[in-house]
Amino acid sequence: MKLSLLSSAVLGVAAVNALEVIEAKGNKFFDAKGNQFFMKGIAYQLTPASPVPRSHIRVDDPLVDAEQCSRDASLMKTLGANCIRVYHVDPSKDHSKCMATFADAGIYTLIDLDTFDTYILPNDPWWNQTQHDRYAEVMDAFIDYDNVLGFFVGNEIIAMANQSQAAPFIKTASRDMKAYRDKKGYRKVPIGYSAADIAELRPMLQDYLTCGGNPADNVDFFALNSYEWCDPSKYETSGYANLQKGAENFPVPIFFSETGCNVPGPRLFDDQDAIFGPEMVDHWSGSIVYEWIEEANHYGLISYGPKVEPTVTGKNIEGEFTRAGTPTPVSPDFYNLKSKWATITPKSVALADYKPTALSTRDCPTSTASGWLVNGNVALPTVGETYSGTFTPAPTASNTDTAGNAASPSSTNNPAPVNKEIAGMSAGLVGVMLFFTFWL
């Protein structure tokens, strides 16, 4: 029996390892053959969306049901997707069959490391050994799969203008998970953060997470949940032109970890032309469209069945929608995205021809009257530290680019309008966080 199980496991790993591994170089992603990689991704979660950011709710692990993964992966391949984002997983479960299925479909995964009880709280942040170890368990469970593209240390932890005191704890989580990865001798899977699109904070946050002169302390990528482009729109009027200004010569890869505004609808996904086109392709690494499953918010690209009455209950029914079964495209959104992706071939650069000598770690932003509370390059918290109301300045570090030259100051002006969806989500966040703080 043990031999049989071992053989099955080996076969599973072999299937998963069919894809080339992805690595971050400068501000781009490349596969092992040196080809640049752009994300055409889908947010993949099973439970309903909530007014509370998705990093703060319990979400079922979608990578444990092999039959469902097979059905979904097949249709995702038809759609043209090459990656999925999974918000929470259970490291104690077996993910080998689902990971092999997605690999066979040519689909990579981005996995959130925080678990149901270890996310960083925005109003009362801390970073302790329990959090560190739980994040590490998720990494341990997924690190051997070649179609793991990256890990997130958090999602929308900072969602209001007075919560930026959590930023050093986000950076600490990234630093420590990178150190754990390297200490264990693991493949250098990129580790980064998924940010809410908050105009008063986004420029400072993306600079802060990549500042200070020491790449070991910084995120390997920065991702943004943005719903600014609502069809019909254009690059110049959507807010994307402002996002692009902040991404120019960014020192690490930057991409959209959620996008796809559905107001007024239907979604045309014209933003994909800009993301993969001449306006943005030199600086952005693609996008992840929100989301796979149709639910009350009407962001779904597929449905497992029609909406049911609130009184109907069942194993796979939640929030008045079926959460498993045969995926059926939601028209016209599914087909609009499929057609859009089919016409897009982004201009790429080969790794052999890529020289990121102009990139550098960013200058650390100073505090602002509009809500950025972290003044300059502060010392990162240690394991077990909580927020005390102030931060100690960090020792002076040289800020140099990849060629060893002194970096020039960077600034991000004219931030894009506040994301309306995030603003709505944030309205009830303070009360919810007080609830979680009380019970944790």
Catalytic residue numbers?
156, 258
Q: Which residue has the tokens 């609130």?
A: 310
With beta carbons less than 8 A apart as the criterion, state whether 377 and 364 touch.
Answer: yes
Give CA–CA dist 27/320, Å, rounded.
42
Q: Comparing C-alpha atoms, which of 84, 203, 249, 219 is closest to residue 152?
A: 219
- The rounded distance, in Å, linking the Cα atoms of 422 and 145 is 33
Helix, strand or coil for residue 22?
strand
Listed in sequence order, the DSSP H helices in 154-268 are 167-183, 202-208, 235-238, 240-247
Name beta bridge partners: 38. Answer: none
DSSP 372-411: ----SSBPPPPTTEE--S--PBPPP---BBTTSPBPPP--
Cβ–Cβ < 8 Å for 97, 126: no
Under 8 Å CB-to-CB from 221, ≥6 apart: which residues? 24, 150, 190, 191, 192, 252, 253, 254, 255, 285
Give the number of other CB atoms < 10 A from CB of residue 116: 13
Helix H or strand E segment including 425: helix 420-426
Distance from C-alpha of 337 to C-alpha of 89, rounded to nearest angstrom: 27
In 3D, which of 110, 135, 96 has the Cα closest to residue 29?
A: 110
What's the rounded Cα separation, in Å, for the pair 180 and 174?
Answer: 10
DSSP 272: H
Closest by CA position to 337, among listed 82, 123, 137: 82
Contact, 291 vs 323, CB < 8 A?
Answer: no
CA atoms of 91 and 131, how far apart (whole Å):
14
Name the residue type at position 308. Answer: V
